[in-house]
Structure 1
């Protein structure tokens, strides 16, 4: 026979009884045959789920999953739940981010079907009062949470020193020379350490990392040593080009090589990815301004081709070009001043006076792609953006494929998780590196669930089921049991004080508790939403001396608030 949880008495008396017996009652309830079998089946099989469809097709697993988030009523709403599960949490326009109910967001984030991060423990999202704080401004504008964060670090009373705290919060704690780490008081680093505002950003792929880190050098990179000194940019270069030999001295020789010289260090390497890297940054590129004899330029085919391309000129042969370069620009009768040769005048003038500052392939690529990062949904958008496509091929040493759209598309569309896919078996390591850098098709990889995932969800499910059983005999007791969790979810959403109140007003259980505990009339729901907000804040300040919902999570105030709700709800019954 199954055990049914119960309550003796109502109001505060009933709550006192429930508090004394809850652990024992819940333990017995969880051993009920049907519930026990359901939970055991769930914990054994949930971490084998690889897609939202698999979860939706398993009624028992879906029952426990939805029940863990208090979404039991959606068990038959498969199409909607599928959209929620597959939502991209990073997209403000995704369906889950357009819903006001944080339970759906918790469900989507926990399973992570629409995220590259994969599954997370429910506790990784919930239970943290700072979970909704995304920027230093979010924290500094929330006086309640700011006081708590300072108090956690033993820095009470500093909340008005906003400019100083902003610099502390923005510090990179991994950098010994950052602002917080240079302060003599370690409590400031501990304060900033509660957040990750100053930490290195996370990128979707190595291309995004490469371009973002390169763009940090607004004045450009002057030398190979500048690149080698920037660890984040260097790592992005290594990842983007798939480099295997990465010790500094070797890379310095690669980067400083004259790629136009067949006998240079980089041209002796069998792996042409290093040549692509060297050409991308061009630190060893010959300086035409140092050349006084046209023969130096004419005898270097690669440099000559690039020089002509700078002025959009064609190669008319060595004899012709020599006459151009040796012309007296001030003599109207010189070779380059003849009408049929005037197209080459700027070319000759640049050689004799000042050659334009060379622009690296990396700079050209960054200029082309920066505003387009994150906008590509498939490789065809990149391939048929001809200027970007050309810059991409140049960067990876794949210019020979400028008209070979089929090969490039076939590589981009390859399943990178398969060892036998087209890109992974192609002989050209440069093509493979380019494909992996963009990662248009990362392929299917086995989802890794964090340790304790099944157990946490099972515990959430059994706790909510216990609350439901209690609610069958006394609805107010169910509200009292769930109060702390529901209010914590609101606070975890972040935002302003008013945003918290709006979420409370939009949550039926929390609205009921707050209206009752604050002694608000039932007809308040008919008022304008802003008027409801004012009334709730006024009553909260009068009764508890605060207008911020987060303050109600303080243990003493939470207990006082809960008991007031139970007392007034009991009185209202009579």
Structure 2
């Protein structure tokens, strides 16, 4: 047996009854067989939808989807809805953005079929009131939202203490030593958690994460323990080099190994990805300044190669190098002081008086790529950037491929989602790790729906269906129920004060409520849009003391506005009502 929601009375008395019984009525309504089966079907299937056509071809899924955005009447307009779903919301000229009704933009944005970010949680979800707040300064400058955020955690008395609130909001919630986590009252952390301003950035691939987290250490990493103590950087290293997440002691031994010593710990490991990461950071790099005997330097090919590379010296045999290193710098007749050998002087001087500070491969790579992150759309752009390409090969232990462009490009272009692609079948695990780190071709991995996407859409659907049922007995009560959510959606979109008013005019339910509450004539909609905005602002200030729609979300103003709407709507339609409101009789 199905249940039909109802209202007793009209205007304020009807609203009072509905507020008192709404939760119970809606719970019973959502358990009715038809609604329950429809929601279960939607929850089970919606996240498997990959294209607009798949959604449009399933009537039940489309019913819930359109119903969640208040677009039930478009259920038969397939071609129109398809154009909406295929719209690029980031393009102001796209089909959905040219429509006056903001519900279509919300639909297109939520499913994101033509967005690189894919699906997102519905912006119309009640409770997303702080979506437009991007920084602590944004919140502290908006008294309405600040009061709401403080009220959510019972901290209203702190409204004027903005210095304290700024420090709370800027705290790293994940750091036990941060300002907010050292405070005894858990409400402060709860307040900051509503925004989580100080959260790690979102990276597109592990290379971005590696470089981004490495660059957080402006003074560089002094030791392996510095790296192991930074959880975000450590995870980026593990992901970039495709390592197993093992014990800190194991990784410390890897990182501290002398990679130039064939008998060192890391050189005994079969998996050469650990050798690559050890070389990249160079914590175990030997102290070249301690090599005072030419034979010590000449007997270490890796250190010697690095030293020669530093001074641009290549192709010298051991005898000539020994003669350079042993030259008397003060003797004008020595080997390095001959006019034809002047390039050797700096090399000999470094050996005898001190080498330049060692710069790790990771530092060189970071310096090369930092300004170019996110700019590569084709792997050839990276491969043919010679200095960056060389630095990239160095940190992945792939220096042998410095002229092997075809192999690297094939690996980068491989479909990483296919187990039989070139990169996934290649014997060289370092090459595979490099391909995954940049992820030029992630392949067809399917759309990723946010957690609770189905739950939030179906909740919007059941809420709106409940409102529709209420509207069957009293259309004004339906508008009153939806008012806060619809106005919150406009506020969440951000923008200027006028932008909020344009959003209201573009939302049929809100436009009706505002025109009624502000006692605007039926011909009002024929005015120029800018004139409508100015008139609404003037009347809003006259009646409610504010020209900013977001201020009406404050609890007191919200109640005043809704009550005024219900009274005026009831007065305008009282002749057609079968109920009598004793409060309205006073008017």
> TM-score category by the smaller chain?
0.7 to 0.9
Q: Structure 1: how far apart are the matches of 2:163 and 2:172? A: 17
Q: Which residue of 1 aligns with 2:256?
A: 256
Once the two structures are overlaid, the 10-residue window that deviates more, 96-105 or 397-406, is 96-105
The answer on whether the counterparts of 1:47 and 1:454 sit within 8 Å (CA) in structure 2 is yes
Counterparts in 2 of 1:232 and 1:539: CA distance versus 1, 3 Å:
same
Structure 2 Cα separation of the partners of residues 160 and 25 of structure 1: 39
Aligned-partner Cα distance in 2 for 1:485–1:431: 51
Aligned to 2:327: 327
Checking the alignment, whether the CA contact within 8 Å between 1:96 and 1:105 is kept in structure 2 is no
Name 2:414's counterpart in structure 1: 414
Where in structure 2 are the equivalents of 1:192-341 lying within 5 Å? Answer: 192-244=192-244, 246-341=246-341
**1:176-221 deviation line (CA, Å, top 9, x unaligned):** 1101112233332222122211233332222111111100111111
Does residue 436 (structure 1) correspond to residue 436 (structure 2)? The answer is yes
What is the match of residue 76 of structure 1? 79
| Higher deviation after alignment, 230-239 or 44-53 | 44-53
Change (3 A) 1:459 1:163: closer
Q: Distance in 2 between matches of 1:526 and 1:123?
A: 30
Which stretch has the larger CA shift, 454-463 or 214-223? 454-463
**Aligned counterpart, 2:581:** none
Once the two structures are TM-superposed, the CA of residue 103 in structure 1 deviates from its matched residue by: 3.2
**2:125–2:460 contact (8 Å) kept in structure 1:** no
**Residue-by-residue CA offset, 1:339-391 (whole Å, 9 max, x unaligned):** 22222222222222221112111011111111222222333332233322221
Encode CA deviations 1:75-99: one digit per residue, 9 max, x unaligned. 3235633433xx5x8x798969977
Could you tell me the TM-score, scaled by structure 1's length? Answer: 0.85
**1:278 Cα deviation (Å)?**
0.9
Deviation at 1:465, TM superposition (A): 6.0
Q: Structure 1 residues 562 and 150, CA, compared in 2 at 3 Å: closer, same or farther?
A: closer
Check the 8 A contact 2:148/2:554 in 1, yes or no.
no
Following superposition, the deviation at residue 546 of structure 1 comes to 4.4
- Distance in 1 between the 2:131 and 2:555 partners? 19
Q: 2:379–2:440: 8 Å Cα contact kept in structure 1?
A: yes
CA distance in 2, matches of 1:339, 1:450: 69
Given that residues 331 and 337 in structure 1 are in contact (C-alpha distance below 8 angstroms), is that contact kept between their aligned partners in structure 2?
A: yes
- The more displaced of 475-484 and 117-126 is 117-126
> In 2, Cα distance between the equivalents of 1:229 and 1:551?
45
Provide, for residues 447-467 of structure 1, a one-character-per-residue CA deviation record: whole Å limited to 9, x for no partner.
566787556535544654676
Deviates more, 1:99-108 or 1:380-389: 99-108
Give the Cα–Cα distance (whole angstroms) in 1 for the partners of residues 50 and 525 of structure 2: 46
Distance in 2 between residues matched to 1:44 and 1:231, nearest whole Å: 36
Mapping of residues 87-102 of structure 1, within 5 Å: 87=88, 102=102
Q: Secondary structure at the match of 1:430?
A: helix
Are 2:524 and 2:532, in contact at CA under 8 Å, matched by a contact in 1? no
Could you say which residue in structure 2 is the equivalent of 1:486? 486
Q: Structure 2 matches for 1:7-156, cutoff 5 A?
A: 42=42, 45-58=45-58, 61-71=61-71, 72-73=73-74, 75-77=78-80, 80-84=83-87, 87=88, 102-104=102-104, 106-108=106-108, 110-111=110-111, 113=113, 122=122, 125-156=125-156
Change (3 A) 1:271 1:515: same
1:449-489, CA deviations, whole angstroms, 9 ceiling, x for partnerless residues?
67875565355446546766887998656544432321121
Partners of 1:396 and 1:431 within 8 A in 2: yes
C-alpha distance after superposition, 1:276-302 (max 9, x if no partner): 011101112122222222222112112
**Which residue of the partner structure matches residue 515 of structure 1?**
515
Stretches of structure 1 lacking an aligned partner (at least 5 in a row): none
1-structure distance, mates of 2:5, 2:184: 56
Corresponding residue SS for 1:258: coil
Q: Greater shift after overlay, 187-196 or 137-146?
A: 187-196
State the shift of 1:251 in Å. Answer: 1.6
Are 2:83 and 2:96, in contact at CA under 8 Å, matched by a contact in 1?
Answer: no
Please report how far the alpha carbon of residue 152 of structure 1 lies from its aligned counterpart in structure 2 after TM superposition.
2.3
Please state how far the C-alpha of 1:408 moved relative to its aligned partner: 1.6
Shift of 1:572: 5.5
Q: Look up the match of 2:187.
A: 187
Could you tell me how far 1:168 is from its partner in structure 2? 0.6
Q: Verify the 8 A CA contact 1:64 1:458 in the aligned structure 2.
A: yes
C-alpha contact 1:119 1:449 (8 A) present in aligned 2? yes
Aligned partners of 1:96 and 1:108 also within 8 Å = no
User: What is the alpha-carbon distance in structure 2 between the residues aligned to residue 227 and residue 42 of structure 1?
Assistant: 46
Once the two structures are overlaid, the 10-residue window that deviates more, 19-28 or 408-417, is 19-28
CA distance in 2, matches of 1:395, 1:13: 72
